[in-house]
Amino acid sequence: MYKILVINPGATSTKLSLFEDEKEVISESIEHSVSEIENCKTIMDQLPFRKKCVEDFLKRYNISINELDAIAARGGILPPMKSGTYQVNEDMVNYLKTKTRVEHASNLAAVIAFELSKNSSKGLPVFITDPISVDEFIPEARISGIPQLERHSLFHALNMKIVARFAAKELNKEYEKCNFVIAHLGGGISVGAQRKGLMIDVNNATDEGPFSSQRTGELPMGDLAKWIFKNMHSYSKNDVKSTFVGKGGLFAYLKTASLKDALKLAEKDEYAKLIVEAMAYQVSKEIGGMAAILGGDLDAIILTGGMAHSDYFVELIKRRIDKLGVVMVYPGAYEMEGLALGALRALEQLEDTKIWEGENIL
């Protein structure tokens, strides 16, 4: 039996689990205070308190680092790379600390895990599986409309890939032979077209596609450019950024980033109802686009993420898309399981573990 520690830092929490083979035996989500987060200028400034929170977890459950067989860490924003499980090494850690293109809490996971692994007396492997920067785009998906700006593949790869595996199993089909449109409806929203195991196009969850709880998604470009020029003297670069990612989307309209709260408001307030319906409308539109990319040849449309817990929200989407194909719903996120199973496949040598080869791996 393999013991695997799983580390998954999110924007405001750190999720930790202990798996014994496929079974999650301990699971905790540690919330961080706004002041703890705001005191840190960069994500890497959060390293000391995030690492301590993992050490405290190990102490609380009396888990010695020497009894672990692996640590499975959420993959951060690395250069574009193939889907799969990678062994973390010093180069990857340095990249995450000093070179990553996007500040995201997931960048901390491999760094924390690698530092902890050094305390093991037996050489503890650290793995990441399906990081946010998995890139399986077809050439035409990279074209934005202007040669200076390329589209990038940045999405909820970990959860979307694992639910696709669940769906293939449920349909009794081989994962690599299935075509899916997958919509991850969490704090951020990614909607992608997965053809025969490869995510050939997906909206960049930070700045394309539907608006989400705190992100604007795609915006009317001409008016956006005018808005930035008009406000460039009164807004800092960070103010501009947080207007679109952090204070945009549901939050900008309703002052809540939670769909649960928005749905409560919508029971009495027509404006709140309109905003929730608009989010479902935009998700449906993105799903339709991705179905077209697959030429309508779909095994299923998969809805997943926290917002898929809401039957009401799922229904708003389903009524627009259910003529496109079978709709399968996996509410919540399966990231901890995705990480543990990735590490387990590596330990059992069921899959080739990829070795980080630096920045030009594709």
Ligand X SMILES: Nc1ncnc2c1ncn2[C@@H]1O[C@H](COP(=O)(O)OP(=O)(O)O)[C@@H](O)[C@H]1O
- The set of residues, in sequence order, having a beta carbon less than 8 Å from that of 76 and lying 6+ positions away, is 96, 100, 104, 106, 107, 108, 109, 110, 128, 131, 132, 133
- Give the residue from 69, 204, 183, 67 showing the smallest Cα distance to 135: 204
Q: Which of 108, 183, 307, 324 binds ligand X (CB under 6 A)?
A: 307
Least separation in angstroms between CB 199 and ligand LANB7ZPL: 12
84 binds ligand X (CB under 6 A): no
Subset of 221-280 contacting ligand LANB7ZPL (CB under 6 A): none
- Give the residue from 244, 167, 247 showing the smallest Cα distance to 209: 244
CA torsion, points 291, 296, 298, 300, in degrees to nearest 10? 50
Q: Which of ligand LANB7ZPL, ligand X, none does 307 bind, CB closer than 5 to 8 A by kind?
A: ligand X
Q: Which of ligand LANB7ZPL, ligand X, none does 345 bind, CB closer than 5 to 8 A by kind?
A: none
156 binds ligand LANB7ZPL (CB under 6 A): yes
The tokens describing 332, both together, are 């919540």
43 binds ligand LANB7ZPL (CB under 6 A): no
Subset of 176-205 contacting ligand LANB7ZPL (CB under 6 A): 186-188, 205
In the complex with ligand LANB7ZPL, which residue's Cβ is closer, 155 or 244? 155
Comparing every residue's Cβ against ligand LANB7ZPL, the nearest one is 188
- The set of residues, in sequence order, having a beta carbon less than 8 Å from that of 43 and lying 6+ positions away, is 103, 104, 105, 107, 108
Least separation in angstroms between CB 207 and ligand LANB7ZPL: 9
Burial (0-12, 13-18, 19+ Cβ within 10 Å), 134? buried
Q: Which of ligand X, ligand LANB7ZPL, none does 132 bind, CB closer than 5 to 8 A by kind?
A: ligand LANB7ZPL
- Give the residue from 128, 129, 131 showing the smallest Cα distance to 154: 131
Subset of 197-256 contacting ligand X (CB under 6 A): 213
Q: Are strands 13-20 and 85-87 parallel, antiparallel or unpaired?
A: unpaired
Cα separation, 109 vs 107, in Å, equals 6
Stretch that binds ligand X, among 173-181, 216-224, 259-267, 319-327 (CB under 6 A): 259-267
In the complex with ligand X, which residue's Cβ is closer, 21 or 207? 207
Q: Which of 6, 7, 8, 10 binds ligand LANB7ZPL (CB under 6 A)?
A: 10
Stretch that binds ligand LANB7ZPL, among 38-46, 79-87, 150-158, 346-354 (CB under 6 A): 150-158
Least separation in angstroms between CB 15 and ligand X: 9
In the complex with ligand X, which residue's Cβ is closer, 126 or 257? 257
Cα separation, 362 vs 353, in Å, equals 15
Helix or strand holding residue 335 (H, E): helix 335-347
Q: Which of 86, 137, 155, 180 binds ligand LANB7ZPL (CB under 6 A)?
A: 155
Comparing every residue's Cβ against ligand X, the nearest one is 306
b/e for 205-244, b at 16 or more Cβ within 10 A?
Answer: bbbbbbbbbbbbbeeeeeeeeeeeeeeeeeeeeeeeeebb
Catalog residues that contact ligand LANB7ZPL under the rule CB under 6 A.
Answer: 10-11, 132, 154-156, 186-188, 205-206
